[in-house]
Each structure stands twice: as C-alpha cells, then as structure tokens.
Structure 1
C-alpha cells in the first residue's frame, strides 16, 4: 500500500445522530482498492460480484482469501436457516451486539432484516432507541441478554444465559445460532468501527 493510500480519509460526511433502521452509509479511514484495480483473485474473494460497489468490501479485498472465508461464514450464519433459529432472531442477535458496541452501520442493516422477517418493527425500533435493556418480551429479551454477555466479553456468557434461552423454548441448534450471530458481529463491529465510520442517512438533519 502506498503512502497516499495509507493517509486517513475524511470526506466531511455527516455522522448519524441516532441508531436507525434507515440506510446508513459508511466511509473508510483508509483507501479501498479502486474498482479497476480488482483482479480475478479479488473478485473471487468478494464472493458476490455486486460488492465491487462497496468501499468496505473493496478495502477488505486487499486480503481476498481472508475476506472470502469471512463472507462464507457470514452467509452460513445468517442465510442457512433450514434448521435452528428463525432468521429474524439471528438478525436480532446481530442487532443487539451492534447496538451494544455502538456500530450504527451494522445495527441499521441487521435491524432492517430483523424487522422485516419478524414483522415486529416497533420492538426492533425500541431496541435501537432504548438500548439493550429494552423490554422486547421474554424470548427476545433472552436472545438480547445472551448476545450482550458475549459482546461484553466471552467469559461473561455462560450457564445462566443458556438456561434463560432454554426457558423461553430454544433448543441446542437455536442456542448455537444465537451464539454464532452475536459472536460474529461482535467481531465484525470492531473491524468496521476500526476501518471507518458511519455516515448519516440521506435527508437526516445536519
């Protein structure tokens, strides 16, 4: 990476004022690869060709093999929903981790998915507005609490969180999906927050 590419970027774009389900942007601190720099190796690492339009994924594509492994894990956690936890609850776990970590971008993406799949937009908005202590009902409260414990530090998660998940009806596969969704986004939040920052949705007041 050249000196020019290592210079921190700052385009002056406005920061979001709050957590939201609206489409939040993201701007990198470091220069991503330009679209015309992408080779077949980079495209393979992106997995989805449409991601060439994303600054975030073009930045991660500087290490395409790691990006490919990361993306395949991500897709398996959230899209392989034939068994285990419903998609809405997997997205809730990611939203809770993102809300706890302060990642406005990730929270916006996964809260939209959770609201869409659950049809519980009001509860999702309550989580975004009030934080991880919001009362979302016994089942969702248990999912959020487990996600928060993992997010704060993995050693905070243990038997009490598992027992609470079992009490609201989750089986072993479903509990594993809570863990996977929260743990993956606990890591992904830190990566995204380190490499750039969220940009306010279009139309948000300055």
Structure 2
C-alpha cells in the first residue's frame, strides 16, 4: 500500500508515482528517456541492463524486473544475458567496455566518491569516451534515486514476472517521456 493516497487506475511502480505528481514526474521521465533511449555508443539493451543491475544492487524489485525485461526484449541474446549479469556481473559475457562502465555504475551505488581515476582510466582503455563515462555515472545516480523513490513511497509492485512483459513492450514502443502524462 503506497504511503500516499493514489488515484485508482494508475500503473504500478514509478510510472504511477510520476502520474500522481506530473510536475515532478515529467522531468524524471524526460531524464530516463535521454539516458535509456537517447544517442549513445551503448545499445538500448545495454543501458537498460545497467539500470537493472544498479536497481538490483539497491534491492528495488520493480526496477529490476522492469528494466531487465526491457533489456531482454531489446537484446539479440534475450533473457539469457540479462540473467547472467544479474546472477554474477563479474563472469557475465559482457564487452570489456560495458564491463568497465558497469564497474563505474556499481561504484556510484556506494558513493559518487568511489568512482576513482583507476575506474575511469580502465573504462577509457576499453574505448569509453567522456559521454560514456558521464552517462554511466548519471544512469547509476539517477537509478539510485528512482529506486529509493519507488521503494520509499512503497509503490505497488507486481509480483508476477509476466506483469512486466507488456509494460516493457509499451516502454520500448512509446518511450519514457509519456510516463508522467499517462499516455
């Protein structure tokens, strides 16, 4: 039961919270749109996998389920790669560049100050540029906030993994920027 009285008919998780308060939800959904779907050297699937991984580190079931499903639906490897990353990121078959950026994202979960020059240099050695490094830090920081928002408000979270399949397909099709407007 959410900590605030939510109107009937709102979707679960953060989309429902964004619709509850569109004046704050709109900028949040616009940020997610840019991070997950805007121009990037990483695929949309890779970025969604990073969001799912950060959410797992933060123990946010809604965001793990949502973003792992979105990643899986957009990946040629489907669910298999996403599940490997969530089970053990260190042994998952990731590109060296994505692995280095995931290490940066993991450091941010603990503290922004944990992003060391060594982590940044390791990412650069694997082909990451300034935008890649910026976006890995911002994605992790943003998802730490989104995870805390969802769980801190005690948002409604479907327990059935199948509930995330249609939601993921809709977000892939329509994007995030419409979340706060209820489209």
Q: CA RMSD in A?
A: 2.3
Counterpart check, 1:94 vs 2:68: no
Distance 1:154 1:89, change over 3 A: same
- Structure number with greater CO (CA < 8 Å, separation at least 6) is 2
- In our comparison, the structure showing a higher alpha carbon Rg is 1
**Does the aligned pair in 2 maintain the 1:88–1:115 contact within 8 Å?**
yes
**Does the aligned pair in 2 maintain the 1:90–1:177 contact within 8 Å?**
no
The equivalent position to 1:105 in structure 2, one of 62, 82, 105, is 62
Gaps of 5+ in 2: 163-183
Counterpart check, 1:201 vs 2:156: no
Counterpart check, 1:32 vs 2:6: yes
More helix as a share of residues: 2
Gaps of 5+ in 1: 1-8, 10-27, 36-52
| Aligned counterparts, 1:126-205, within 5 A | 126-130=84-88, 132-137=89-94, 138-196=96-154, 198-201=157-160
Note the C-alpha offset of 1:62: 4.1
Deviations 1:50-107 (A, max 9, x none): xxx41443444443211111111111111112x4432222112211211111112111
Distance 1:134 1:183, change over 3 A: farther
**Does the aligned pair in 2 maintain the 1:98–1:185 contact within 8 Å?**
yes
**Count of residue correspondences:** 158
